[in-house]
Structure 1
């Protein structure tokens, strides 16, 4: 991977800090005041962006569509997916409010559109990027329409195989934004079983397409996100809520504010621990090096001019003298002075002639 994707004031790529998206989604339950509180919680946690969802229910779903099984479990009842989504729909003016709030608070407003009218609304709001949900990875006409807006796209790929992802990526590229794509690996279950997370698929996506790759995390708690960062995720997306006991389809698989803060801090700790990859003593190690490593030390008194034998040497702390790596080079050499037992040897003690 050789490129970066800019979203707002952030560059996304392998040697950049992980871009952390706090996924508010529909966890506002259709209440705009709750949505504003979610923005504040994301800011306080240190997230880079907070993301909502925009849809016109009539444009998104048929009236007869049943709930998915996880939605039945999280809402506590079967029934109409249409009615459930209608109850959490925000209008254009409310999204504008949230975008203004985010701009003032210094966090990037993001949103997932689910149909063309929402794409247009977000373009009018000058959204920094479009996030495409896994439900639309195979929706090629929709992807083509999103791409026509010329803005960066973050593409989730849950429920998709590599061929389907390739078709989606090619559709977006030919639609006009070939250099502004981020791909998210995802397991579209809520919560996602750990043994189905398959983080190695991120490397597959990176090698296949050459774009920055991240992880949309549906595991419980802080979950797999820090592990994803450890193996190269450039973006992490995680659902959060103000209260996991609230009614609604996504609260159960979401973090609460304190957990979101812990996730952000854990990711930053992972990044700090990854370092720059150069193998060398660290600043904290350098003072310890001479105290903890060893020197070549005289096992017994060695007279000036004597040829050094193995019986004359032992390796002991501290490391003020010749390192033990000099052992083979000084065997068979003479010494230039008397060296008392338990003294470490130095370069000037050796007759190099």
Structure 2
């Protein structure tokens, strides 16, 4: 099975602090993630002054400030982007960031980003999709809140603009996502409908759903993480802490191994068990040479190193060519 590409979503969990962002990079690398992803935006270009917070944001950050005031504190400027890219290189983990406007796409392109993550909210943003498609680089697109026709329209824009390598992530944008709303089978629906590689961007609490997604064929997994989910900020509460992130990644790597080739045959490790667990035809009582083998004087017992019980009816009625003691393997 191909290795799942795992994105540790730091998002805005750095709270605007570059040192916190670096610690998140350290922990993502320590946990074994392939990439650590941030968010690139200019607050004034992302939301209007009248934009309200989402319900989960009101719960996690209070109702006093509006969405603009909240995210203004979470911006990363050009210098901070470069610093984080350099730090990722030092820690041998890929830097990624979701751009939220055309200028941020240009900034990230100038900084050399090679994998583009389209967040769910931008799937209906035509100029944005055209810009990313025109870069002709790898694209990973989340589809929270979208239906199949909206996904089809977005893929059409991306491919016509020049994108060729696109992975589509099933996603639910509620933080945290209730289990009954996950609808993991929709990932397979997307794969069947568009014949594209698929993955899953997870906002549930815990790690079992992304692990299950890998068993169902996810090629990319994205999961929010934080240093401490009791910290103040919009996304900490629905994020994994570093040890949980590491556990999730270890579980995914185990599932990759466990999926195997799909060929049904004895594995190397179990071949030695055949003789122990299977059975053979043995003497059910002492049998003299010349006696006829029958249901009364034969039985089936371990070990499985003699004549297979699958030949039971073939053996019945044959003549014993020698004496057999009780429990002795029958030989013809």
TM-score, normalised via structure 1 length? 0.90
C-alpha separation in 2, matches of 1:305 and 1:173? 81
C-alpha separation in 2, matches of 1:23 and 1:47? 10
Task: Note the C-alpha offset of 1:195.
Answer: 0.8
Return the match for 1:227 from 185, 193, 212: 212
Does 2:133 match 1:125?
no
Task: Note the C-alpha offset of 1:168.
Answer: 0.9
- Secondary structure in structure 1 of the residue aligned to 2:145: coil
Q: Which residue number in structure 2 is paired with residue 190 of structure 1?
A: 175
Return the match for 1:310 from 268, 279, 295: 295
Q: Which residue number in structure 2 is paired with residue 338 of structure 1?
A: 323
Give a deviation string over 1:71-93, Cα, whole Å, max 9, x none. 11111225411111111000112
Aligned length: 332
C-alpha separation in 2, matches of 1:325 and 1:106? 57
Q: Which residue number in structure 2 is paired with residue 296 of structure 1?
A: 281
Whether the aligned pair in 2 keeps the contact of 1:108 and 1:128 (CA below 8 Å) is: no
C-alpha separation in 2, matches of 1:298 and 1:287? 24
C-alpha separation in 1, matches of 2:313 and 2:130? 69
C-alpha separation in 1, matches of 2:22 and 2:183? 34
Q: Which residue number in structure 1 is paired with residue 53 of structure 2?
A: 67
Distance 1:170 1:335, change over 3 A: farther
Does 2:65 match 1:104?
no
C-alpha separation in 1, matches of 2:290 and 2:90? 79
Whether the aligned pair in 2 keeps the contact of 1:55 and 1:114 (CA below 8 Å) is: yes
Return the match for 2:305 from 304, 320, 341: 320
Does 2:134 match 1:148?
yes
C-alpha separation in 2, matches of 1:330 and 1:278? 32
Task: Note the C-alpha offset of 1:289.
Answer: 2.0
Does 2:66 match 1:83?
no
Q: Which residue number in structure 2 is paired with residue 9 of structure 1?
A: none
- Secondary structure in structure 1 of the residue aligned to 2:286: coil
C-alpha separation in 1, matches of 2:129 and 2:28? 28
C-alpha separation in 1, matches of 2:161 and 2:190? 20
Whether the aligned pair in 2 keeps the contact of 1:304 and 1:336 (CA below 8 Å) is: yes
1:269-284 aligned at under 5 Å gives the runs: 269-284=254-269
Moved more, 306-315 or 200-209: 306-315
Whether the aligned pair in 2 keeps the contact of 1:206 and 1:213 (CA below 8 Å) is: yes
1:8-87 aligned at under 5 Å gives the runs: 15-87=1-73
Task: Note the C-alpha offset of 1:61.
Answer: 1.4
Task: Note the C-alpha offset of 1:224.
Answer: 1.2
C-alpha separation in 2, matches of 1:307 and 1:129? 75
C-alpha separation in 2, matches of 1:234 and 1:61? 32
Return the match for 2:150 from 164, 176, 190: 164
Q: What value does the CA root-mean-square deviation take over the aligned residues?
A: 1.4
Structure 2 unaligned residues grouped into runs of 5+: none
Moved more, 287-296 or 128-137: 287-296
Give a deviation string over 1:223-259, Cα, whole Å, max 9, x none. 4111111211111110011111211111110011111
Task: Note the C-alpha offset of 1:222.
Answer: 2.1
Q: Which residue number in structure 2 is paired with residue 10 of structure 1?
A: none
Whether the aligned pair in 2 keeps the contact of 1:66 and 1:79 (CA below 8 Å) is: no
